[in-house]
Structure 1
Amino acid sequence: MSLTRKRLLTGLVAFSALVTLVGCNSETEVKSTTETTTPTTKANHVTQGISLSMFKEGAFVEEPTIVDCTTAEGTETTCYKFVTSGAPAGREPGPFCPRTTSDGPEDGGKWFSKEGSGELVDITGEFILKLDEYYEDDKWAVYDAKTNKVRYTATKAACLGAARPDVEEQYKQNCIECQLAYLDDDFSVTYLIPTTPIPATKTTGRVHTVGIALDGAELSGPAPIDAILGSYTIAAFDDCGGHINVHQGYHYHSTNGCTDKSEASDDGHAPLIGYAMDGYPIYAMKNAQGEEEMLDECRGTTDAIRGYHYHAASPSENMFIGCMHGETVQAAGGPPDGGPQDGKRPPRPEE
């Protein structure tokens, strides 16, 4: 039995503790993941809830349920409770780091462009070889000059020592990759998202966990680029824009098309990639014509079909959205973004 399949069957316990909510006191099973919420119109404003049918098969390790919950702003409402395995449904992550300085694009993953916008760059052997030129810093040396082998985190111990803000000294000058095999056998992540979005009186700018992708993987907040590059490491993504750590499992820092809902909309709108922690949908950056929309500070806009919704930033911007337009659920001891923090997890890793 594959590791991923095993987690899909057994990953029913939260990685530290299940999210505990103020005001969470009842639970209702959603009988079918093909069930959808119905858009409602209030004062000419469309409010679109989460459509469970949009998620990929295998995105959750148990049927989504509806529970009572209270937002960080004190609003009593109901939330979807989603439990995931920490792996993207339908595919195996990777590759991440190339093994030699002669490896091509197919042997490695992706990384942020130093321009801070646009597409991700390929982590090829040549990219590793020329990191000193790319970042204009001759201290870079993520390979052995005698063997031309790339230094990468090949064990769980190396993953734990490198995938953190304060990289252990022996793991500096490494390409960082972690594997799903490093997760606990009972690893799971629980998310609570309002069933109907509630516009906030004040947007939330501090976003640790942005939302959940249609394949069940986390859409994560910005990676700590300064800490990563300051330790002369590359926290490699796969071609889909995500990577793994032992606290979040596989998670995205960038959208590269892998989470897009393939069915085209009648009006040529950008494809759906997931839902934010406030319940509003997140769509890709550009529509079918390759055009971008005019967006607010949170990277959101409103139309008559979808109501308020977000559009993700470009792959190398190290963000999905700029802030939360709606209210989110506060996990006990966690940040006010509805993410799976429970107040007991260690400092956020170098993601």
Structure 2
Amino acid sequence: MIEKNKYFVLTCFLLAFTAIGFISCSSDDSSTSDEAVIEEDDTETDNDATDEDTNTVSVDASYFYTTDGSVTITTVPCTLSDGTSTDCYQIVTTSLPGDHEMGPWCPGNIEDDATAGGIWLEGGEVYDVDGAFVENMATFYNDPNWMMYDANGDIYITDTQEDCENAANPDVGEEYENFCVECLPSYITDLTQTWTIPITPVAQDSPVLFTTAGGGPGGPGITTAPSTRGVALNGIEFSAPAPVDNILGAYTLAPFDDAGGHINVHQGYHYHAATGFSTKIAQDDGHAALIGYALDGYGIYELADSSGVEATDLDELRGHSDDTRGYHYHVDAAGNNNFIDGLKGAYVN
């Protein structure tokens, strides 16, 4: 009986030892699993911090004015100027804005007030093209050859599509000297423009400066950079600076409307200045409103914030960064006939 009890005790001892060992292994496995989860959480936190540091904000297609069908947006595969393969938004527009009226451009008589004409951009200033402005062109430019009106004060204006095309030609003929060039929306009947921009911007180590900002054709050594600066939220082009010297050199005047745009039959309606007429997205923190996107996908914002204060830390491209919007641009003053001075990101060739 004692012998049986000895074996029984020994058996219980062995079973208990085995059970303890099993429980200990299970506990180690559980501990290892918990540590792995914590490490993964730490890794995710690090990734989030990296995203905040780079803070790249993607294009928001819902901000575009598409209500009237003048703008359509689709997602397409694309290759950027640095070779990156990615997704882009393809923005197709009818070349006429759906969110504001166009014109007028040229006043009819030297007695007309500012409501009859558009604006002119000169020397950093915005001037109303009213009758008095046209009457005083010779004084304004210190050149007696300016005389854009007849004995009745009626201003010479291109009044047909053919005249519009001829007067907007770089080799404009002498017969159009002292004409106010006005191309009308009715001349644009079957013209679309297509813009393709990366959904998520891809920053480059070396930005591209536009020619007007001191670069070569799109920057030193670069010949494929677009001349277009970006796309407004109504789908209209933010164009390169208007060639005012060429326009004036031919003794013509091609005013912009109060929205900063005018028409040629090849581009349709396009902007040369931001004056606050097109669709904008107000910012909750009072920052300047979003008005479009550059061709590299970075946002383009108005010049001043809701209090009228302009940013003072812009780089050579007219851009800077903040925690909410990431890197973005601010347009130049309207009188400078300019939007931004270059592209920080890669673009579609």
Question: How far apart, CA to CA, are the structure 1 residues paired with 2:60 and 2:299?
Answer: 9
Whether the aligned pair in 2 keeps the contact of 1:165 and 1:224 (CA below 8 Å) is no
Could you tell me which residue of structure 1 aligns to residue 85 of structure 2?
76
Could you tell me which residue of structure 1 aligns to residue 149 of structure 2?
143
- The ranges of structure 1 where at least 4 consecutive aligned residues each deviate by more than 6 angstroms after the TM superposition are none
Unaligned 5+ segments in structure 1 are 1-38, 331-351
Find out whether 1:268 has 2:286 as its counterpart.
Answer: yes
Q: Which deviates more from structure 2 when the two are superposed, residues 130-139 or residues 58-67?
A: 58-67
In the TM superposition, residue 78 of structure 1 has moved relative to its aligned partner by: 1.4
Question: How far apart, CA to CA, are the structure 2 residues paired with 1:324 and 1:124?
Answer: 36
In the TM superposition, residue 71 of structure 1 has moved relative to its aligned partner by: 1.4
Whether the aligned pair in 1 keeps the contact of 2:234 and 2:279 (CA below 8 Å) is no
1:1-351 matches, cutoff 5 A: 42=51, 44-58=53-67, 61=70, 63-113=72-122, 115=123, 117-118=124-125, 120-144=126-150, 146-183=151-188, 185-204=189-208, 205=210, 206=218, 208-261=227-280, 264-293=282-311, 294-330=313-349
Unaligned 5+ segments in structure 2 are 1-47, 211-217, 219-225
Question: How far apart, CA to CA, are the structure 2 residues paired with 1:233 and 1:74?
Answer: 43
Report the RMSD for the aligned CA atoms in angstroms: 1.8
Letter in 2 for 1:268: G
In the TM superposition, residue 59 of structure 1 has moved relative to its aligned partner by: 6.8
Whether the aligned pair in 1 keeps the contact of 2:229 and 2:295 (CA below 8 Å) is yes
Whether the aligned pair in 1 keeps the contact of 2:70 and 2:98 (CA below 8 Å) is no
Question: How far apart, CA to CA, are the structure 2 residues paired with 1:59 and 1:82?
Answer: 14
Question: How far apart, CA to CA, are the structure 2 residues paired with 1:160 and 1:63?
Answer: 28
Whether the aligned pair in 1 keeps the contact of 2:70 and 2:97 (CA below 8 Å) is no
Question: How far apart, CA to CA, are the structure 1 residues paired with 2:49 and 2:112?
Answer: 53
Question: How far apart, CA to CA, are the structure 2 residues paired with 1:235 and 1:62?
Answer: 26
Whether the aligned pair in 2 keeps the contact of 1:60 and 1:83 (CA below 8 Å) is no
TM-score (norm 1): 0.78
State which structure, 1 or 2, has the greater radius of gyration over its C-alpha atoms.
Answer: 2
SS in structure 1 at match of 2:55: strand
Percent identity between the aligned chains?
A: 43
Residue by residue, what CA displacement relative to the aligned partner does 1:217-256 show, whole Å, maximum 9, x if unpaired?
Answer: 1110111111011111111111110001111110000000
Could you tell me which residue of structure 2 aligns to residue 18 of structure 1?
none
TM-score (norm 2): 0.78
Q: Which has the higher contact order (CA 8 A, sep 6+)?
A: 1
